[in-house]
Structure 1
Amino acid sequence: MLDVLSGFATIAIVIAVGALVAHIGLVDASAQVLLSRIAFFVASPALLLTTIAATDVSHVLSGNLVATAAGAAVPALTYAVVGHRVWRRRPGELVIGSLASSYVNSGNLGIPVAAYALGSASFVAPTLLLQLLVLQPVALALLDSDRFGRRPRARDLLVRPFTNPLTIGTLLGLGLAVTGWSLPTPVLRPIELIGAMAVPGMLLAYGIALRLGTGLGGDIPAGELALTTVLKMIVQPLVAWAVAAGLLGVQGHALLAVVVCSALPTAQNIFVHATRYDRATTLARDTILLTTIGSVPVILLVTVLLGH
């Protein structure tokens, strides 16, 4: 239990450092943009390559993947429908809002939580690869299409993701994992070093944005922020639990793993995507903040109720 709290505390401290350097005037808003771009185009692809290359992809084929996918699909689609009908959000804003409602922090928080709270980092593999190989490429294709001011076409969904640095890093890592090949040490070490910049870069950029950006909620309706937060913290883990336990008959430690991974907070890289495409940045920022704080008691409660 203490290890779970330690993982959250580490993230909070790095975010606080970003807010501090902005508060004392050491950096300005341009630093947040620069850190986000470096994380998006350089560091994150390197991190994804090395992370997935070391992942046992057989876990993706388990029945738990169905529950994980359902847990992500229900809140994402719910926000997309409500966001369009109630707040008339544009396509790019709907994508970011849907991601904020369903895309979990499976990397820099999910891996240590799975390792320490569940006993093995492999438990987060289905969530990690589902997001990186399916949800993220589709979302980025839609964001790219929205940026160019036209409706996404089938060709966009098939081709454009493979021009994105994050997807390229993911696919290269998957290729290494499937074939069992390893990069030569002189090649691997620089990639690992660059990849190590991704998580702190994203967290520092997020801290800077918290300090220099608008206050909580900013210019977005309180109801919209409440919706994304509830969908992520409550609806997603509940759906994952219902599908895993009710439809698939998953029990014991495997059920705990599915629900805990679905209860992880919104990933910081959603804020990076929002900044990169200039879509719903305040909604992404504040949903990450609220779900990161709220997920601590949620995960602890899940551990108490389902743990053995």
Structure 2
Amino acid sequence: MNKKTFNNPLIEQRADPWIYRHTDGFYYFTASVPEYDRIELRRASSLEGLAEAEPAIVWRKYETGPLSANIWAPEIHFNAGKWYIYFAAARTTETNDGLFDHRMFALENASENPLEGEWTEKGQVKSAWESFCLDATTFEHKGKLYYVWAQKDPEIEGNSNLYISEMSNPWTLTGKQTMISQPEYDWEIIGFRVNEGPAVLKRNGRIFISFSASATDFNYCLGLLWADENADLLEASSWTKLPEPVFRTNEAHSQYGPGHNSFTVDEDGSDVLVYHARSYKEITGDPLYDPNRHTRVKIFGWTEDGLPEFGEPQPDTESGR
């Protein structure tokens, strides 16, 4: 395995990190900000350069309505020749009963550099139910664009399951919407029954989907699904879930609640796991409002069986930012 290490945290107080390396050679970064009130983008020619890159604010929440609270987990994708940001947003009400009533939304930008030009709202990405949903991601496979997200099915106990659908365009779902995972193991149901934050990785003849499970404190961890690349991805039976988490708290390294990851590659082409974690266990108040989920990055390798091997979250480096 590549022994290269990074200074961690890479970027402080940025949760749900998403890093995408485009064909232009630049890395693009976005994440949840502690205020949950805006979407930022950074751009750099190297992974570590993102730490010092100047953030551009590309969108701000509204004062009222369905896009006015808890702007969560933006991701930037390049689909059908344009840039898209997918994110979840809730609504502010007089009684605050809508603060966790999230829906999924899309922004579009036709500029070559997404930190420039205009981001236009494409509206809500609607699924089969009008219920709590978040953490959308997209990927292309065999000429089709797929959407994977987390949502509450009103008929199923728990907080969120994972679903997949094809898209007719980068902001519209089409055809069947299939549940591919729901919380079932002990490590998926601590505090909350949660599967969320899917991220897609295509390697070794398979399509892998990592996801996060349980409450967002030290119990937060990563699980893994996979399907054969030639399988029908819209059939639930095509997906296998590993029975144990693949990345979790390491108290010896003072790394707590690693999760909500994305994947990229470094400048040498090595696979990189991007994730957030805290450096302490005890949290005062609601973990969602503790700002110190920092973005971290880590080289990972592969097992002889062709599965990703994430190892353990590494301790913060003395020279880390």
Which TM bucket (shorter chain)?
Answer: under 0.3
- Compare the two structures and name the one with the higher strand fraction: 2
Greater length-normalized contact order (CA 8 Å, ≥ 6 residues apart): 1
TM-score of the two chains, using structure 1 as the length reference: 0.25
